[in-house]
Amino acid sequence: MAESRLDKDTLRRWRRHPTTFVEDVLFDPETGAPYRLLPSERHFLAHAFKTGTDGRLLYPEQVYSCPKKSGKTAFAALHVLTTSLLFGGAYPEATLCANDYDQAQGRVFEAVKRIIEASPLLRAACPKITADKITFPEFDATITAIPSDYAGAAGGNPTISCFDELWAYTSERSRRLWDEMIPPPTRKIACRLTVTMPVLRVKAPSWRSSTSAGFSSR
């Protein structure tokens, strides 16, 4: 690892190569070694941060779909950290939305916490970690977990919002949460990320409204 610490200058350099950031900086808590992206994950990230001539993301709606036990939750956590730290701009916010079957924090938030705890450079940045929020004071970045309740999302300005297993967002309150978490037009770099397994029939109405706008990788 060439870098001894994270700062705004080193993060800016990694923007040109976000997959290198993942594989150099972010450690797998289960193995204690840096992550090695799957080909589908590498392909997805190669498109995820592309911008148009106006500087806005070409793909503000992003869907990553693959079978069960394929590492979707871990990939969502990697995406959230990369988006927040490399591309978040001023005061980046990530909002991780629990589904109707999750606890309030949700699995992606737990994965983010474990990756931070396992990654030396992220630990050295002295993040503040509580039950539902992670703050990197040096970068003015926050990652917040919210329950499946749209009221908790009102007034946010997320760089990235994340939905895990969209088929499990079945209630009216979770549908309203989905509607609340559209990428804000005030940010040029802002996206809504959905990670989910492929299903033939989905009861959650949210899924039908998102498939035409995102891109997927399997």
Please write the tens of the pLDDT for every residue from 63-90: 999 888 889 999 999 999 999 999 999 9
pLDDT at 129 (0 to 100): 96
Token pair in block for residue 11: 């993060």
For residue 120, being part of any structural domain is answered with yes
Per-residue pLDDT of the chain (218 residues; tens, 9 = 90+): 456 678 888 888 899 899 999 999 999 999 999 999 999 999 999 999 999 999 999 999 999 998 888 899 999 999 999 999 999 999 999 999 877 666 556 889 999 999 999 999 999 999 999 999 999 998 999 999 988 766 666 678 999 999 988 777 777 887 888 888 889 999 999 999 999 887 655 554 454 455 444 444 43
Q: How far apart are CA 11 and CA 87, in angstroms?
A: 9
Q: Which residues pair with 129 in a beta bridge?
A: 134
pLDDT at 161 (0 to 100): 94
For residue 215, being part of any structural domain is answered with no
For residue 156, being part of any structural domain is answered with yes
> Which residues contact residue 121 at a Cβ distance below 8 angstroms, ignoring those fewer than 6 apart?
1, 3, 5, 6, 25
> Which residues contact residue 185 at a Cβ distance below 8 angstroms, ignoring those fewer than 6 apart?
none
Domain that holds residue 108: 8-210
For residue 102, being part of any structural domain is answered with yes
DSSP 76-137: HHHHHHHHHHHH--SS-EEEEE--TTS-SSHHHHHHHHHHHHH-HHHHHT--EE-SSEEEEG
- Output the domain CATH number for residue 117: 3.40.50.300
For residue 174, being part of any structural domain is answered with yes
* Structural domain total, the chain: 1
Q: How far apart are CA 26 and CA 150, in angstroms?
A: 31
pLDDT at 101 (0 to 100): 65
For residue 12, being part of any structural domain is answered with yes
pTM of the entire structure?
0.87
For residue 98, being part of any structural domain is answered with yes
For residue 217, being part of any structural domain is answered with no
Q: How far apart are CA 4 and CA 61, in angstroms?
A: 34
